[in-house]
């Protein structure tokens, strides 16, 4: 019965891990199942100028997720924006929600959806890493590190 006991042990180890993860503070910020963030970064600009945050939100889960907001200790306020080109004039709109379909992804890029970091703190300096927490309509949150780059995006 070697296999049986091995499986038993594995099950116990998994349960212990899950318990540890659930009781840990970070577990509450692990986001909806299957949802992850890739290539998160924020552009540091001279103080008091709003800074953009960019990333790709991937949803490998079985149902659509809806992003409703974001926050970061590096920003007084972190807003969901979308840049739009209207007759050669670029403008930004506040977005109340951004939906990511099941099995899909949404890219936040300069010129499209982006995060807008208002009232930046000194933590937002090139070379640093700042945490960003994404909030979903389900009430779940996902906290990920964003790299801070300079005005040129490097």
Least separation, in Å, of the C-beta of 92 and Cu ion?
4
Least separation, in Å, of the C-beta of 82 and Cu ion?
8
Among 57, 78, 116, 148, binds Cu ion (CB under 5 A): 116
SS (H, E, C) the chain: CHHHHHHHHHHHHHHHHHHHHHHCHHHHHECCCCEEEEEEEEECCCCCCCEEEEEEEEECCCCCEEEEEEECCCEEEEEEEEEEEECCEEEEEECCCEEECCCCEEEECCCCEEEEEEEECCCCCCCCEEEEEEEECCCCEEEEEEEEECCCCC
Nearer to Cu ion, 108 or 136 (CB): 108
Least separation, in Å, of the C-beta of 52 and Cu ion?
6
Q: Mask: binding to Cu ion, 78-107, rule CB under 5 A, as x and -?
A: ---x----------x---------------
Least separation, in Å, of the C-beta of 78 and Cu ion?
11
The residues that touch Cu ion, with contacts defined as CB under 5 A, are 81, 92, 116
């Amino acid at each position: 019965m070697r296999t049986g006991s091995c499986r038993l042990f594995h099950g116990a180890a998994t349960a212990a891990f899950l318990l540890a993860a659930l009781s840990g503070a970070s577990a509450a910020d692990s986001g909806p199942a299957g949802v992850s963030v890739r290539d998160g970064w924020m552009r540091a600009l001279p103080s008091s100028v709003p800074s953009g945050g960019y990333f790709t939100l991937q949803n490998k889960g079985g149902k659509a997720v809806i992003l409703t907001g974001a926050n970061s200790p590096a920003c007084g306020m972190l807003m969901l924006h979308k840049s739009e080109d209207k007759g050669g004039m670029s403008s930004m709109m506040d977005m109340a929600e951004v939906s990511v379909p099941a099995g899909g992804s949404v890219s936040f890029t300069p010129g499209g959806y982006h995060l807008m970091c208002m009232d930046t703190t000194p933590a937002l300096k090139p070379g640093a890493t700042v945490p960003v927490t994404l909030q979903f309509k389900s009430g779940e949150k996902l906290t990920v590190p964003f790299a801070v780059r300079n005005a040129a995006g490097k």
